[in-house]
């Protein structure tokens, strides 16, 4: 019996569906695959980071304001394709705490990400890397995961215009824009940013697809029926075959 207990708990955990506000005990290392023609990757990464921060501090009266800085690392291609962070457009609570790193090469980007993860005074780290550079192989990805878990600093790495290569992230998303809900006062105007996000690989959750939206107080998720959008087959998933 004692042998089967970890197996049972594992399947039970795996069966738990992902939902906003659900934080694993482990520090997340998430990957988001997005197109370089839109700012979805960074937007979703920020929304997930904010979601995690809200869950971490449930008591609004607690006098524990999290004023730590956060790091945003971009490589030069990602910076050229999707632009630089714009202060007035950032979420209000994160605006003044941003430290931006414009790295030239993917190697420098990975160095900056790892340095950020090793720093105890950072709230979280967001990275943007364009394409599939040779430096970002499975070993590099594993290094980032281990650093994030050891030092407790969450990392969301946005892959721009990239193939789904091997990666050791605990959650791997694929995101794109979706038409936003019409605003109340001007239905002709674009509304709050919405994303169609597909969780195609997660360690503790079954895959699924949601329409996500940050309404200012919380991350709102609407599940898309699996029948309409069948999840991807895991036959071709190299990470699953590798046993991770």
Residue 42 in contact with another protein, rule: CB under 8 A: yes
Residue 89 in contact with another protein, rule: CB under 8 A: yes
Closer CB to another protein, 192 or 242, in the complex? 192
Distance between CA atoms of residues 226 and 202, nearest Å: 16
**Of the candidates 110, 158, 194, 210, which one interacts with another protein according to CB under 8 A?**
194
In DSSP notation, 26-81 reads: SPPEEEEEE-TTSSHHHHHHHHHHHHHHHHH---TT-S-----EEEEEE-HHHHHH
**Of the candidates 47, 129, 171, 199, which one interacts with another protein according to CB under 8 A?**
47
**Of the candidates 18, 30, 33, 40, which one interacts with another protein according to CB under 8 A?**
40
Distance between CA atoms of residues 11 and 23, nearest Å: 18
Helix (H) or strand (E) holding 101: strand 98-102
Which residue shows structure tokens 């609570």? 93
Q: What is the DSSP letter of 19?
A: -
Distance set, CA 214 to CA 55, 91, 102, 220 (Å): 14, 10, 27, 6
**Of the candidates 24, 26, 38, 132, which one interacts with another protein according to CB under 8 A?**
38
Interaction mask 106-125, another protein, x per CB under 8 A? --x--xx--xx-xxxxx---
CB of 152 to another protein, least distance (A): 8
Applying CB under 8 A, the residues found at the interface with another protein are 37-40, 42-44, 46-47, 69, 79-80, 82-90, 96, 98-104, 108, 111-112, 115-116, 118-122, 151, 153, 176-180, 182, 186, 188-190, 193-196
């Amino acid at each position: 019996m004692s042998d089967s207990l970890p197996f049972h708990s594992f399947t039970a955990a795996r069966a738990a569906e992902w939902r906003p506000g659900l934080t694993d005990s482990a520090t997340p290392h998430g990957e988001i695959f997005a197109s370089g023609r839109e700012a979805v990757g960074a937007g979703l990464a920020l929304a997930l980071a904010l979601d995690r921060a809200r869950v971490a501090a449930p008591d609004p009266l607690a006098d524990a304001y999290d004023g730590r800085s956060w790091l945003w690392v971009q490589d030069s291609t990602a910076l050229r394709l999707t632009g630089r962070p714009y202060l007035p457009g950032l979420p209000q609570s994160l605006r003044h705490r941003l430290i931006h790193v414009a790295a030239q090469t993917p190697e420098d980007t990975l160095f900056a990400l790892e340095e950020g993860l090793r720093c105890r005074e950072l709230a979280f780290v967001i990275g943007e890397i364009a394409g599939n550079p040779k430096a970002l192989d499975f070993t590099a990805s594993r290094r980032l995961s281990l650093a994030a878990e050891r030092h407790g600093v969450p990392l969301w790495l946005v892959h721009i215009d990239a193939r789904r290569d091997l990666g050791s992230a605990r959650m791997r998303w694929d995101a794109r824009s979706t038409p936003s809900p019409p605003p109340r006062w001007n239905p002709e105007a674009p509304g709050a940013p919405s994303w169609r996000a597909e969780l195609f690989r997660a360690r503790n959750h079954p895959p699924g697809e949601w329409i996500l939206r940050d309404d200012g107080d919380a991350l709102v998720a609407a599940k898309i029926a699996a029948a309409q959008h069948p999840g991807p087959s895991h036959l071709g998933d190299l990470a699953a075959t590798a046993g991770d």
